[in-house]
Structures are given as structure tokens and as C-alpha cells.
Amino acid sequence: MSRGLLIDRFLDDSGWGGCGRDPLPVDCSFRRYERLTCDDGRHAMLMDAPPPMEDVRPFVKLARHLRRMGVSVPEVMAADEEEGFLVIEDFGDDTYTRLLARGADETALYAVAVDVLAALQVRPAAVDVDVPRYDTDKLLDEAVLFTDWYLPSVTGHAVDPIARIDFVDAWASALAAVTGAPDAPPDTLVLRDFHVDNLMLLRDRTGIASCGLLDFQDAVIGHPAYDLMSLLEDARRDIAPDLQAAMQQRYFAARRDLDRGAFMTAYRVLGAQRHTKVLGIFARKAVRDLMPAYLCHIPRLWRLLEQNLSEPALAPVAAWLAKHVPAEQRRIPEIG
């Protein structure tokens, strides 16, 4: 049976058949969305996440968990986890990205997002969910996307195996300041893609509930610095240094239990790791998945990465990059 017919059957069986269906623009994943509008006034979103490329089960599990934690995420109204179909609550069109493009109050939007993180992270039950740990092995697996996808896309050849081993060793040394630090804070639920593309303003809600979360199915258990860094060092958007500093101060005002120095070391190390990873992801999107639109963000990623390399814990990574990636290779790949 075709996927279109499977969708029709799922909607009929779940009570959403016969509703109007309006496709939404595709994102960086293989997921596809349609807005459902019914004659009886109901409205929702259809998520089409085709296996094996996508798996809706983590989304369902984490949506239920986060709702129990008091965080605004879409309610799952119907699910066919085997085929990869969900009907979820429609949060509307007011993504942070669209609002900021229209001139919305940047400080106010970011402040609520920071408050969401601080509130979630201090709830002990936030980690009571079966998700992977964001440990050194997982962080290293992500970092090598840079050597395996980004560098070949700019050099035209695979990275020397010995150089790749040295890259992993450099990152293992740097990450020890995060995963092995004796003064590290307790682990928390890390949402991983916490940035303006995945946040929404819910005008009918107040406080932290007014910030809706969309993309959280890849959540892990790890260091609390990761999501704050993901928000304030956005691969897709420039954020003024004074706003970054103000939001960091707001976060620390709510998290007085944290050692700021150790936290900011982890913030910069994890920031460098994320930017390194995303350079590889965006190159892979262009080369493997024929999605070159994200390559325009490569210069910003390099700027963010290079800013973080002044962190002493990142000295081995900075040295590796200085040796193996000259300035002329820190650029947008010429795909095709």
C-alpha cells in the first residue's frame, strides 16, 4: 500500500478523516507535516515520519514526559508508531524565528526560553525517563562527522586515518573537562535542539508555559550547559554578545547552585563540539541527502567554533585544527 493510502487509513481510523490538509514546508529531517482543519472546528497537525529514516516513538515518550514536567509540548492525539504517523496538537504559526523576523521583542522571547530551561533542570524527575546518556562516546561519535563529512567536502578526499585518530584523541582530552570534571553539576535532561526554530510563542498561556517546544525527540541525559549554549550560539542566527551575556546572567540568577566557572568551561567545550558536529551534518545534508540549503550557515559556524577555541580545555582541538584545516578550507563546500 502506498504511503498516501496508509495516511488516509490512519486518519480515518483515528477520527481525523475528511479534514482539510495543508502541507507545511519541510525541515532538516525526513519528517513531513500537514495542518489538519475539520468542519467541526477541530484542528491539529499530522506528522509523517517514514521508517526507517525516522522513529516517532521517542517523540511520543518524551512528549508525555515533558508535559508531566509542566513544559508546553504538543499533545499526542493519535499515533501509529509502527508506520510513523502522529496527530499532534497544533501550536499555530508563531515560531520564534518568524516572530524575530517580524521585529518581535528579542529579549522577552529569549528570556522565557531561558526560564524554561532553568525550571526544567531543577526538577529531579526530569531525568526519570529512558533516554541515552550524552557521554564521551556519544559526543565523540558526533564530533567525527566533521572529519567524515565536512573535511572531505572541502578537500575532495578522505581524512588520513592517523589524523582522524588524533582528532578523536584531541576531543577526548577536551571533553574530560565536561564529562569527568569533579565539580560538574548533576546531569539533566538535555533537549539537544533547543533554538529559535523549534520554539513557539503560545499567546493563550503564561509564564514558561507560553514557550512551546517542537523538536525534542532526540533528548538525552547530560550536562545542563548544552541547551543554554544551543539557544545562545545558534547555527542559523546571529545573536548579539550583549543579549547572550544578559541571558547567561538570567540563567545563573535562577541556577545559583552552579559553579559559574566550571559551567562556562563546559559551555564553551560543548559549544565547540556542537559547531564541529553541525559543520559535518550540514555537509552531509548537501552531499548525501541533496539538501544544500543549510550550507549558507557554514561561515557562522566557523566563527562560533573559532570563538570557543580560546578556552584552555580546547587547546588540543585548536592545535589539531590549526595543523589540519588551513583558513582556505574553513569555507562553504562546493557541492556538485
Cell numbers given for 162: 592517523
202 and 298 belong to one structural domain: yes
Range(s) of the domain holding residue 24:
3-88
The answer to whether 160 touches 188, Cβ cutoff 8 Å, is: no
pLDDT tens per residue across span 110-168: 999 999 999 999 999 999 999 999 999 999 999 999 999 999 999 999 999 999 999 99
As a whole number, mean pLDDT of residues 224-233 equals 98
The domain total for the chain is 2
Q: Let me know whether 233 and 110 are in one domain.
A: yes
CA angle (305 as vertex; 300, 311 as ends), nearest 5: 145
Q: What is the pLDDT of residue 28?
A: 63
Measure the CA dihedral 177/236/131/189, to 10°. 60
Helix or strand run (H / E) with residue 294: none
Both 163 and 51 in a single domain? no
Question: Which DSSP letter does residue 147 get?
Answer: I
Q: What is the mean pLDDT of the chain?
A: 96
Q: 68 with 186, same domain?
A: no
Q: What is the pLDDT of residues 259-281, one digit of tens each?
A: 999 999 999 999 999 999 999 99
User: Is the same domain home to 118 and 70?
Assistant: no
CB contact at 8 A, 179 and 210: no
**CATH code, domain carrying 18:** 3.30.200.20
Q: What is the pTM of this model?
A: 0.94
Q: Are residues 194 and 292 in the same domain?
A: yes
Query: What pLDDT digit, counting tens, does each position of 179-203 carry?
Result: 877 878 999 999 999 999 999 999 9
Does a structural domain hold residue 336?
no
Omega before 52 within 30 of 0, i.e. cis: yes
- Integer-rounded Cα Rg, in Å, for the chain is 21
pLDDT of residue 1: 80
Query: At which of 41, 65, 88 does a domain end?
Result: 88
E strands, 150-210, are 188-190, 199-201
What is the rounded CA–CA span in Å between residue 26 and residue 4?
Answer: 17
pLDDT of residue 209: 97
CATH number of the domain encompassing residue 154: 3.90.1200.10
Residues 276 and 186 in one domain: yes
